[in-house]
Each structure stands twice: as structure tokens, then as C-alpha cells.
Amino acid sequence: IPEAELGTEFEIVQHREQESVSKPQNVTRKKKVKETFRDKVNKFFNFLYNEKFQQVTGLSLLLLSVYSFVAFLSFVFTWQADQDVILSSWEEFFSDEVKVDNWLGKMGAFFSYVFIHRWFGVISFVFPFLFILSGVRLLFKLNLLPFLKTLKYSFYAVVWGSITLGYFFSDSWLFLGGGYGYAKSEYLKIYIGSVGTFGLLLFGFMVFFIIANQLISAPWPIRLFGFILTVVSTAINPIAFFTLL
């Protein structure tokens, strides 16, 4: 309709509004992209590398190191008094009338009992040390020691130390080697005898000492063979550890 045929300016404006409404509008819709599994994995790792998350995790590890060290240290002095409570039923364990001597209460007594008595013995003091290293590394971006090398040596120390203490204290002071060390040492005695077990533990320590201090230079197959021999006790009946959980 020509604008001249319209009576007033108000009608012209009204007509234009009607035309704009009547015209089809091109609405652009964004296609929703389906998130793939790889995107979810990348998002998860991005969250792990988030600075605030690492700081919170580092602080938690530092607190856990203090908590575990105090609980372990208290266990050395109070394990005999608290063992009956730990081995009792859950109803009795959580009873308000039942008390324990551990410095961190019932949770500290149970936490230390699992790590020291059922698992790795007094060598479990390695874990608070690792918690401190990890916490400082995440919170302050500081490496007190070479992290991966310390982690490898600590893993070996836990395995070898637990079995060695379990070998020497299988009749008394069983908690020194823990359930893991006792089970492994007894298993080795069955297959290679008491003398053979002692020889294997001594040989494993010597090989580890040589590799750790880099006193010899050997091709990688020999080093690999030596490493396998040092952890051969864990290869024998690996299910034994999980049966102690």
C-alpha cells in the first residue's frame, strides 16, 4: 500500500509494524554439540590441574600427614590396650561407653590399626612422609626431594621393609611387619625355606642399594632383571595382599 494513500502518519507507522510482523524471521538456532567421552576426560584433567583444586588437595595432604603420623606414633604405645576394642563388633566399637587410649580417638586407633597391624607394619611411617612431599608440591609448587624417584624408593621400602620385619618378628611383635609382611614372609618360607627367604631379602637389599647409588653401569635388561628380583616377593601370590583388606 503506498504511503500517500494512508491518512495519517500514525497509520503509516502502524502499517510498517504489521509488515515487519508478517515477514518470516530467520531465527538462527545453535546446534547443540554432543559432548564426547574424550571431552569429558579432558574436562576432568583440566579440573585436576586447576590451581585452587591443587591447593586444597595439597593442604588436605599436609593435614593427613600430621594426622597419620600422630595416629601411627600413638599406636606404637597404645596398640595392646586398644586392640580388643578394634576387634570388637561395630556396635560396641561405636558405643559412647567404650574408650580407647589412642591420642586421636577411635578413628585414629582404627586408621593406625589398618595400616600398621593389618598392612605394612611400622614401615607405614613412610606414608606420612609421602603425604608431606605431595602436599608441599601441590600447595607451594616446591619439590623437597625428587618426587618420582622418592616415590619409587618408598614403594620398595614399604614392600621390602614389611617383609623383612615380618620375617624377623613372625613369632612376637607381629605388628612390626604387619599382616602383609607376615603373610609374604611365611609364603616365601614355604617355597624357598627360611634360609632362602633370608638370602632373597639380603640379595634384594644389595641390588636396590647398587641401583639406587648407581655404583655400576649395566645395560637396561640387567637392571630390569635386578628390579624384578627385588620385588619377586610381591609377584608370588599377589592376591594375599587383598585378602588382608
- Closest among 188, 129, 199 to 158, alpha carbons compared: 129
Grid cell in block for residue 29: 538456532
pLDDT confidence of residue 6: 45
pLDDT for position 46: 75
Q: H helices within the chain, ranges in order?
A: 9-22, 37-48, 51-86, 90-93, 105-112, 126-140, 147-168, 178-213, 220-230, 232-235, 239-243
Place of cell 630390569: 224
pLDDT surpassing 80 at residue 244: no
pLDDT beyond 60 at 154:
yes
The model's pLDDT over 102-133, given as tens digits with 9 standing for 90+, comes to 999 999 999 999 999 999 999 999 999 999 99
Confidence at residue 234, expressed as pLDDT on a 0 to 100 scale: 46
C-alpha cell at 26: 530467520
pLDDT of residue 222: 53
- pLDDT digit string, tens, across residues 45-104: 677 778 888 899 999 999 999 999 999 999 999 998 898 899 888 888 888 888 999 999
Three-state SS at 147: helix
Q: Specify whether the CB–CB gap between 86 and 112 falls below 8 A.
A: no
Cα distances (Å, whole numbers) of residue 115 to 45, 68, 79, 162? 30, 10, 12, 11
Residue 170, amino acid? S
Residues 6+ apart with CB under 8 A from 115: 68, 72, 124, 127, 178
Segment 205-239, tens digit of pLDDT = 887 777 666 544 555 555 555 555 555 544 444 43
Q: Is the pTM of this model over 0.75?
A: no
Least confident piece of the model among 22-26, 195-199, 205-209: 22-26
Q: Provide the b/e sequence for 94-115 (b: ≥16 CB within 10 Å).
A: eeeeeebebebebebbbbbbbb
Residue type, 14: Q
The tens digit of pLDDT for each residue in 128-145 reads 999 999 999 999 988 888
